[in-house]
Each structure stands twice: as structure tokens, then as C-alpha cells.
Amino acid sequence: MTRYLSVKEVATILGISNKTVYKLIYKGKIPGHFMLDSMHFFDEEELRIGLKALATVPKKTASKIHQTRDRHGLMK
């Protein structure tokens, strides 16, 4: 069964404020978002899948990032 999350629940999951969630909504940066009347909701499964996809860094990009940093993780 699909579970729907409120702005407050999404803010808690992501560790951000409600205000930041609204900013991300208006920028189209949070997956699984929809509105019912004037209330914002999120499909929990779509949100998790979308965030997981956004968090995945391709291996080629990851190695490129590693090469531009020194052994302390600082930019060269």
C-alpha cells in the first residue's frame, strides 16, 4: 500500500526545515511530489527511489573527483 508523506515528514527524513522543503518543491527538486487542493504530499516510494537515484555518483565522475583532491581531501 502506498504511503503519502507530509512536508513535515519529508523535512524530518531529509534533516532540513519545512521552509527548505517548500523551496525545493518550487524548484522541482523533490521527487514524488503532488498537490491535493492546496496541500503538498509526497509518494514515499517515489521519493525514496528518486533520492537514491540523485545520490548515486557514476564511477567515472567519482574517480575524477578523487584525482583532484589531495590525501586530506582538499582541492589541489
pTM: 0.68
Number of domains in the chain: 1
pLDDT of residue 61: 56
Residue 75 has pLDDT above 60, yes or no: no
User: Does residue 76 form part of some domain?
Assistant: no
User: Does residue 28 form part of some domain?
Assistant: yes
Range of the domain at 13: 4-67
User: Does residue 40 form part of some domain?
Assistant: yes
Residues 12, 66: Cα–Cα separation, whole Å: 31
Structure confidence by residue, pLDDT tens digits, 13-69: 999 999 999 999 999 999 999 999 999 999 999 999 988 888 876 666 555 555 566
Residues 6+ apart with CB under 8 A from 44: 2, 3, 4, 5, 32
